[in-house]
Amino acid sequence: MLIVVPDLLDAAGVAHIRALIDAAQWVDGNVTSGHQSALAKRNLQLPETAPEARQAGQMILDALGRSPLFIAAALPLKIFPPLFNSYAGGQAFGTHVDNAVRIQAGTGFRVRSDLSITVFLEEPESYEGGELTIETHFGVQQVKLPAGQAVLYPSSSLHRVEPVTQGRRVASFFWMQSMIRDDAARQMLFDLDSSIQQLALDRGHDDAQVIRLTGVYHNLLRRWADA
């Protein structure tokens, strides 16, 4: 599944996060890479332990927690603390798959990466290139979203960041473990949930069919979920 969360952060939220991270000390992005991706990666990142990254990351986690679309699509169990990257002057990240397991420096907090997310923090008109290119079962998708919007995609998919040839691309990127490990199962639950929400609007929340389908949704979740 590839899902866009269009209204994750408002303009004030983006500005606040940018003020925090723009003032911080950026380092070579290879600090978070596995061996294969280190070869392909040229960018800057904020260190995981930077206080600015922690604070801006918490703002992003709070925004995710307030997004019904994100919750329904991701069914998150554990979320890795958000990281921040910056690409300029031809920097890029070649085709790769994200590491399967992420371990947080210092705490040892472990997350299996089922879903990856990019939160765009720069307006697309202000830089050239920098598309997040994702190879899906239905072909190649290129994603370049307005600041404050996010895209969610399976961590198992091959993806890359195209070279940024003008301006600067700033984003937050991180991984999460879903209660539903299997992408197809998670997609079915999301489709079912979306249809139930629409039916409830059309027929009322106390409609007998809506109540029964809501039961089916929760009973499937009970069967399949890690919690």
Ligand X SMILES: O=C(O)CCC(=O)C(=O)O
- Minimum separation from the CB atom of position 20 to ligand X (A): 18
Distance (Å) of CA 51 to CA 31, 45, 58, 174, 196: 17, 13, 11, 17, 41
The burial of 225, by beta-carbon neighbours within 10 Å (0-12 exposed, 13-18 middle, 19 or more buried), is given as middle
Does the footprint of ligand X cover residue 102 (CB under 6 A)? no
Burial 139-174 (b: 16+ CB within 10 A, else e): eebebbbebbbbbbbbbebebbbbbbeebebbbbbb
Of the pair 85, 178, the CB lying nearest ligand X is at 85
Of the pair 159, 186, the CB lying nearest ligand X is at 159
Residues 25-84 that bind ligand X (CB under 6 A): none
Of the pair 155, 214, the CB lying nearest ligand X is at 155
The helix/strand/coil state of 34 is coil
Which of 132, 145, 170, 180: binder of ligand X (CB under 6 A)? 132
Site for ligand X (CB under 6 A): how many residues? 9
Site for Fe ion (CB under 5 A): how many residues? 1
Nearest Cα to 114, choosing from 186, 217, 219?
A: 186
Residues 143-182 that bind ligand X (CB under 6 A): 159, 161, 171, 173
- Minimum separation from the CB atom of position 24 to ligand X (A): 17
- Minimum separation from the CB atom of position 134 to ligand X (A): 9
Angstrom distance (rounded) from CA 112 to CA 114: 6
Residue 226 annotated as binding site: no
Residue 98 annotated as binding site: yes
The helix/strand/coil state of 152 is strand
Which of 85, 86, 149, 178: binder of ligand X (CB under 6 A)? 85
Which of 21, 56, 92, 98: binder of Fe ion (CB under 5 A)? 98
Q: Strands, DSSP E only, in 89-178?
A: 92-96, 101-103, 110-112, 115-120, 128-129, 132-136, 139-143, 150-154, 159-161, 164-166, 168-178
Q: Which does 122 bind (CB under 5 to 8 A by kind): Fe ion, ligand X, none?
A: none
Does the footprint of Fe ion cover residue 193 (CB under 5 A)? no
- Minimum separation from the CB atom of position 189 to Fe ion (A): 25
Q: Which residues bind Fe ion (CB under 5 A)?
A: 98
